[in-house]
Amino acid sequence: MAIKRPHHPMPSFDEAVLKHSGAKYFTKLDAHHGYWSLELDEESSELTTFNTPYGRYKFKRMPFGLISAQDEFQRRIEEEFEGIREHDSNVRSALIRDREKCVKLNLQKCVFKTDSIPNFGHIISEAGIHPDPRKVRARKEMRIPLTKDEFRTVLGMMNYLARYIPNLSSLNQPLRKLANQREFKWEEEHNSAFTNIKEWICDSLSFLDPTSGNIELQVDASKFGLGATILQNGKTVSFASKSLNRTEQNYSQIEKELYTILFGCLHHHQYLYGQKFIVVSDHKPLQVVLNRPISKSSPRLQRMLLKIQPYDFTVIFRPGKEIPVADALSRLYLPEEDTETQIEIESSPNAAEALETPHGESKGNPHAEALTSSPITAFAALTPPP
């Protein structure tokens, strides 16, 4: 049996911006585990049944991961907030309806009556709309190339984005002259041209429309850094890069390449979660790792694979010269660490020995034995559904 997707599309970014044009104040409400606010009817609940050692269980509320979850949640949200007008009354009415519909909010992520608000990588305010500085930081702060190989990487990236940079031929003339010289000597005229082109690239970023698909996450890993960029319909949407610490620099190449996918997904979570997209890499073995059972991979790869499971993507191969933006980001990375993507788990080689003492001491202690047996006893007392 398969679940048929209802296809209730989210409003496009342009529609959302148009609807709020001229607004002076903005409020953002973030649902806490939003899907869990949707109660399943009996028939739908039966379809979520799963087996455990203690019997069969089923979800009573919408679980994460169902193909229809996003569409149903969007439809219910639109129904819930239909007909609300003006800011203060909007917020008051929204909170009342949230309480009536048992929708829990995440207070740490809610923003009330602010003069600007981030949305899909852009900042919306009374003055209009402009790119979120965080999504162009990797490009704006890209360091200058230090070697001729790094310089060739920069030129490849610029040529790839040429269609979106007006007058590129005049902007990069000093750089083209440098490319034809035998000696690589970076001077002020090259630095000025490099800075101007970076500004043009950042200004040419486009919106990501969740309803139009064709989303690509292009990734690349170098010896010392990772690069990831999002494109939609061939247009660049967002950039990201990070340096590798000493431990990460010792990863095998397949581990670095998979780590880059993990980094790209986590950094661009707001764009990619809930969307079908393509991951483009110049490392063919990734397709093998992602298509075989997780248990067949090394422990480090297993941890990465588990972390990227919530994302719906397919990996395809392209030569490095066809993904020059990600290649440049991985080589001219930002210097600081990105702690969000740390996947190492501390472990003690003597953990088993360390447990022997408390385990032995707990024997014969009625309180410890009660705590040990109570979960098993409680499950055993349950009567599994037929």
Q: Which residues of 109-142 are buried (b: 16+ CB within 10 A; e: fewer)?
A: eeeeeeeebebbbbbbeeeeeebbeebbebbeeb
Least confident of 171-175, 323-327, 353-357, 363-367: 353-357
Question: Would you state the pLDDT for residue 351?
Answer: 45
Question: Would you state the pLDDT for residue 346?
Answer: 40
60 secondary structure, DSSP code: S
Of 378 and 65, the one with more pLDDT:
65
pLDDT exceeds 80 at position 5: no
Mean per-residue pLDDT, 336-362: 51
Least confident of 106-115, 305-314, 342-351, 371-380: 342-351
Mean per-residue pLDDT, 177-202: 84
Give the tens place of pLDDT for each residue, 243-263: 888 899 999 999 999 999 999
- Give the integer Cα–Cα distance in Å for 121 and 119: 6
Identify whether the C-beta of residue 291 lies closer than 8 Å to the C-beta of residue 325. no
pTM for the full predicted model: 0.54
Residue showing tokens 């000093």: 174
- Give the integer Cα–Cα distance in Å for 216 and 278: 5
* Residue 89, CA atoms < 13 Å, CB-side half-sphere: 4
- Where on the phi/psi map is residue 3: left (φ > 0), alpha (ψ -120 to 50), or beta? beta
Q: Which two tokens stand for residue 92?
A: 């008051």
- Where on the phi/psi map is residue 214: left (φ > 0), alpha (ψ -120 to 50), or beta? left
C-beta atoms surrounding 24 within 10 Å = 9
Mean per-residue pLDDT, 160-174: 69
Question: Would you state the pLDDT for residue 347?
Answer: 39
Mean per-residue pLDDT, 166-189: 81
Three-state secondary structure call for residue 113: strand
Helix or strand run (H / E) with residue 371: helix 366-381
Partners of 342 in the β-ladder: none
Nearest alpha-carbon partner for 68 in 4, 132, 21: 4
Tell me the residue length of the chain. 386
pLDDT exceeds 60 at position 58: yes
| pLDDT, averaged across the chain | 76
Least confident of 91-95, 164-168, 234-238, 377-381: 377-381
Nearest alpha-carbon partner for 215 in 256, 268, 170, 267: 268
